[in-house]
Structure 1
Amino acid sequence: MAASKPSKRLGSESIEPMVTERFYDRELNSRERAVRGLRATLQGFLKALALAGIMLPLQLFGILTLDLPLSLFDAFAPTQGLRPSAWMSLGEGLLMLLVLLTILMTRRWGAGAVAGSALLGWALTFSIITMLIVELAPELQDGDFPSGRFISVLIISWVAGQLFAGRVFDITRGGNWWKAPFFGAAFGYGFQALIYFPGAFAGTGAPWLWWMLIYLVITTAISLAFVLIYGPLRRLIVPKAGLGGRFD
């Protein structure tokens, strides 16, 4: 809508009329609001699904390879009886990488978006594994399954550790660049260990306190090594607007 003001005469000079324009957004009706809301919801779900797809391979194969021993870290054990290959699997090694991947994704997309996608990825993992168990059930023996206590505590601990790592990273970013990736990884692994070892092994007679101590030494070393990788990756993984600078 346009409105004009009459010209005024000051002495021999005249002032041209001012023309102003005002624009009004048309109010959306209920159908248009519903369509817009549905479109935003669908876009958000597709984004979460895409991010979940990045994490899904590590989540899925981490669970599927829990029966394969991992001897990579045996040098960290003071005695042969405490070697990680006796209580750590290839699957757990893959889930360790999942924590580091979560931190890199949090750098790019933020803790909120990555946390939702992580939960979606775990839901997809659980669904796929359930379908595999149903399909293979006639050929499986009782010994082919880990105990319900073990698998429940393991999954809960890694979900919690993954989310905690992303959250700690998000809180500590913005200072010295190395602090966020180190503390995110170290605290994520530590939180996972505090849930997993007592939850899975307390009361079984296993030396789980020693195992947890060795595990924390291993994961602290991994966290330090991750800082060396994270530094160069800052140039490649640029945070979205509002999540920090390229070199944070």
Structure 2
Amino acid sequence: MKAIIFGVLAMAATVVASNILVEYPLPGVLADWLTYGAFTYPVAFLVTDLTNRARGAGAARIVVLAGFALAVVLSLIFADTRIAIASGSAFLIAQMLDVTIFDKLRQATWWKAPLVSSGIGSAVDTALFFSIAFAGTGLPWDTWALGDFTAKVIMALTCLAPFRLLMAVVTPRLNAEPAQG
């Protein structure tokens, strides 16, 4: 239970930080391509994947749902309302997809499940989030989405190292329950 609570808190903190940081573009020439949120949000996939590896898809879904609920409430307080709604919508769909894909690939080579599930989840999250949060605002949301997705892919590759290191701490659940949904 302690691991689930830690996962929920880590998930909520990551999402709230990302929802605040997405409002701040990088300076200079990168301002039309990236926000600071692109570098924090991929940690949510790391949290989901580690929970899935250690406790199975059911526990990962609990972390996603509870983290989602807490993050949306906090984001409504600390971030723009439109961003909180977009984030909540994109987050829930992308993270549940991540859990399902990871669970189906769990028996593959150690890097395949986190990389593929995070990559597909990131694509879905980026498309949903940026179109809901920024379409019609006059902001460069299409290039932010492209830059964000590129950063998420790079971060997914970068997060493989901590995932591999943390696998030594968590016991992989080889016989997890079948994915639902």
Instruction: State TM-score, norm by structure 1.
Output: 0.59
Q: How does 1:89-168 map to 2 (within 5 A)?
A: 89=37, 93-126=39-72, 146=80, 148-168=81-101
Contact 2:11 2:67 (8 Å CA) reproduced: no
Aligned length: 177
Deviates further, 222-231 or 208-217: 222-231
1:55 is matched with 8
For structure 2, the residue ranges without an aligned partner over 5 or more in a row are: none
Contact 1:56 1:122 (8 Å CA) reproduced: no
Displacement of 1:61 after TM fit? 6.1
Distance 1:84 1:55 in 2: 27
1:84 is matched with 34
Distance 2:71 2:134 in 1: 24
For structure 1, the residue ranges without an aligned partner over 5 or more in a row are: 1-46, 134-143
The one-letter code matched in structure 2 to 1:207 is P
Contact 2:94 2:124 (8 Å CA) reproduced: yes
The one-letter code matched in structure 1 to 2:158 is A
User: Relative to total residues, which structure has the larger strand share, 1 or 2?
Assistant: 1
- Taking a change above 3 Å as real, the CA distance of residues 56 and 198 of structure 1, as seen in their structure-2 partners, is same
1:16 is matched with none
Secondary structure of 1:84's partner?
coil
Distance 2:165 2:10 in 1: 24
- TM-superposition CA deviations, 1:192-218 (whole Å, max 9, x none): 111101111112222222111111111
Contact 1:62 1:93 (8 Å CA) reproduced: no
Do structure 1's residue 205 and structure 2's residue 158 form an aligned pair?
no
Identity %: 23
Higher RCO structure (Cα 8 Å, ≥6 apart): 2
1:226 is matched with 159
Q: Of 147, 150, 153, which residue of structure 2 is paired with 1:217?
A: 150
Instruction: State TM-score, norm by structure 2.
Output: 0.78
